[in-house]
Amino acid sequence: MALWFFIAIFTVLYSVYIYKSLLSPDPAIGNLLPSASDTNLVVSVLSQVLANSVDVLLTGVFDVLRWQLASRLAGISATTFFQLSSSTQWIALLSLTITKFSSSGVGLIRLLLPLFGLYFGSILKYRAEFVYYFKESAERTAVFAGSGVPLDELVLALIPASYIGIFFVSWIPTLLDVPKYAVSMPLEGCGQNCTTSFLPGGIETARKLGPYLNMTLLEGGVFRNSETIQIHNAPGILLRFDDLPPTFDFDRTHECHTYGQHLNDTLQLCIRPVNGSLAVGWAACPTPLYRTSSCTSNTSWLAAPLPKALLMTRYKQYATTAYSGLDFSILNVSPTSPPIPEPLNASTYLATWSKIFQPPPPPPPGPSHASLDNDNDNSNNKTQTRTQTDNDQAMTSALTYAVTWLLRLYDDVFPDDTHTPLSHLRNFLAIPQQFMVTCLQFANYSVPAGLEAQLAGRFALPADMRTEAVRGASTTRFLAVGWVVWVYIASAGAVVVGVGAVVVGMVVRREGVPSSTGFVEVDLAARFQDTREEGEGGWGGDGLAVIRQLGRAREVSTAVTSSFGVARELRRRRIRVVSVSDGERRGGVGSDGVKQYELFAFQEEQENRGRVRLARMDTEETRVASPRLKANW
């Protein structure tokens, strides 16, 4: 009973725990927000505890039940008696069940006990998964966030080339591999030879709501020292990159453009619109021509195959994104809309490439006009414009050399690596998509006073970028399938209630609950002792005589030599376990009110004139003597 009460209480508490941690929309337990790995470990351990406890409970109940059934007037068949025994091995139990298949419900339950343990120990893991969980800890703040701003040639024309070039120099090798800007996201139809990257914008491009876009989220202290920052339902860019077939080629006259001729370090860029997508390829002047300064004079390489090419497709998709407050890396992206295709325009890319690869014209003579990269003090404008022009020229030259050097590096030194040059091309194409919002923000908050009236409202962010951000705590949660959790709880409850009903049934029976030492061998030795000396109405026989006969039969050449053979003999000879003494008279009732055990015997049923009687067999009557003995070792 103590074990049953323990399992009942444990089942209730454990059911509450697994509902709270594996199913509830709020898995926090008090102030504790357990991680997925911790939850997985706790569930594994506690499930095994419950499984083992159920196994021990059922085994113990069956062991007590067999003695109570044997105390009845008709006793219990030896087959069922051994099926209920905790000491019967599984193979022997299988043999007993097979020989008594027509009425072997108890045997089947005992056979399935290992499966019960497997079920209660592991079923909660069925299709369970690790999911992200975020818990808000402050009020939400109105912000501009996300990406998805279309490329704008006017904005690009206003931003100095040196500013734009810095982004390309910095991010061509790594952009789509940096977790603060991009994550991989599955897309239907994107399989082999296809990659995707989702650009949610990032914390660095998010701005607090206001007329000017120069206040980041961390200014003002609201998001300082945040563990996690979550931005709700903001637009993002999903880029898909597909390999082009080997037969694909560009029109080298109309679709390909060259840059860097003034440096004798030519870069070839080809672009073609394809059903709203863009096919883009690039190549650099080969090393032998570059070393001899022949890139512009010998242009035969411009007609060579262009293996570094791919197809880029753009989608707009809204998502709720969580970022780490420590390094702004993306922790989780939860899409809130399906991806929506957006056509790409080749002209905006051509304008961008002209901006960053072609040297700017010299500043015109005379007074300078107000622009985004100078102020309204005309005494300084001319000097600032000249300085900016020098910076732009230096950046275009440096960027051209950096790109051509990178392409030649993999052509000459790592020719077998065809993946990295394509990765660089993907980054190169994604940079304007990621940082166009930065250009728009720069144009917004750097408009000189002289141009405010002319450009009023021209550099506002799209309305769908207005959203909310909030700080909080996050973790990876171990989430189970709902119906699995409920089936598990119902199964555990059914086992506890069912076993409790069996225990109550044994308590209320006339025979009472037999006492036990807990040692199967001790109980057997005490209850099947030799009672041939009792007399005066006592049994006066050997309770184990029939079983001894089966054991000695192994010495006979014709005897069965397997557990299945023993099980078959028990069934054929209809051996039963019966009470052979009056428990009230012999054992009495203990001080705890529990009935003391009487004595038992194995007896064989025999038919006599249509009636069944129990044959009392002692050792002398059942001893087997045969001249055909053989050693049994």
Return the higher-pLDDT residue of 290 and 59. Answer: 290
For the CA atoms of the chain, what is the radius of gyration?
A: 42
pLDDT for 341 beyond 90? yes
Name the residue among 156, 26, 198, 168 with its Cα closest to residue 443. 156
Q: CA 505, 510, 513, 517 torsion: positive or negative?
A: negative
Percentage of residues in the chain with pLDDT exceeding 70? Answer: 79
Q: What is the mean pLDDT of the chain?
A: 81
Please state the separation of Cα 532 from the chain's center in Å: 68
Return the higher-pLDDT residue of 193 and 568. Answer: 193
**Using one digit for the tens of pLDDT, what is the confidence trace for 226-246?**
899 999 999 999 999 999 998
**Using one digit for the tens of pLDDT, what is the confidence trace for 444-470?**
777 665 555 555 556 778 899 999 999
Distance spanning both ends of the chain, measured CA to CA: 43
Domain locations in the chain as residue ranges = 2-128+480-622, 132-363+378-479
Distance CA 405, CA 411 (A): 10
The Cα-based distances of 435 to 147, 156, 157, 371, 423 in angstroms read: 8, 11, 15, 21, 18
Distance CA 107, CA 297 (A): 93
pLDDT for 397 beyond 90? yes
pLDDT at 221: 78
Residue with tokens 């030519």: 266
Asked if 100 and 576 count as a contact pair (C-beta separation under 8 A), the reply is: no
Residue 172 tokens, joined = 């061509």
Name the residue among 11, 8, 30, 27 with its Cα closest to residue 19. 27
pLDDT at 132: 86
Name the residue among 137, 115, 136, 123 with its Cα closest to residue 22. 123
Asked if 145 and 201 count as a contact pair (C-beta separation under 8 A), the reply is: yes
The Cα-based distances of 597 to 505, 515, 584 in angstroms read: 18, 7, 9
**pTM higher than 0.95, yes or no?**
no
Average pLDDT over residues 104-108: 71
**Using one digit for the tens of pLDDT, what is the confidence trace for 35-71?**
888 888 999 999 999 998 888 888 888 888 888 888 8
